Amino acid sequence: MTRLAPGLSRWMAAQLLATVAVTSGRAASVAGPSVFQPSKVTFKAEYRGITAGTITISLLDAGQGKYIYESRANAGGLAKLIVRHEILEASTFALENNQIRPLSYVLDDGSSDTAKDTRLEFDWTAGFARGAHEDMPLELPLRPDLQDRMSVQVWIMQKLAAGEPLGRIEFVDRDEIKDYLYTNEGTAILKTAIGDIDTVIYSSTRPNSTRVSRFWYAPSLGFLPVRAEQQRKGKVETVLTVLKVERP
Percent of all residues in the chain with a pLDDT value above 70, rounded to a whole number: 83
Query: Is the pLDDT higher at 6 or at 76?
Result: 76
pLDDT in tens, 16-54: 333 222 223 333 333 456 889 999 999 999 988 888 889
Tell me what pLDDT residue 51 has: 85
Cβ–Cβ contacts within 10 Å for residue 230, how many?
Answer: 24
Percent of all residues in the chain with a pLDDT value above 90, rounded to a whole number: 65
pLDDT above 70 for 181:
yes
Tell me what pLDDT residue 112 has: 87
Q: What is the rounded average pLDDT for all residues in the chain?
A: 84
pLDDT in tens, 150-176: 999 999 899 999 998 768 889 999 899
Dihedral angle computed from the Cα positions of residues 190, 192, 194 and 198, in that order, rounded to the nearest 10 degrees:
-10
- The predicted model gives 198-213 an average pLDDT of 92
Tell me what pLDDT residue 41 has: 95
Q: How far apart are CA 97 and CA 88, in angstroms?
A: 29
Q: Which domains does the chain have, with CATH numbers?
A: 4-246 (2.40.360)
Tell me what pLDDT residue 32 has: 53
Question: Looking at this protein, which amino acid is placed at residue 167?
Answer: G
pLDDT in tens, 84-139: 578 899 999 999 988 999 999 999 988 888 988 999 999 999 999 999 999 999 99
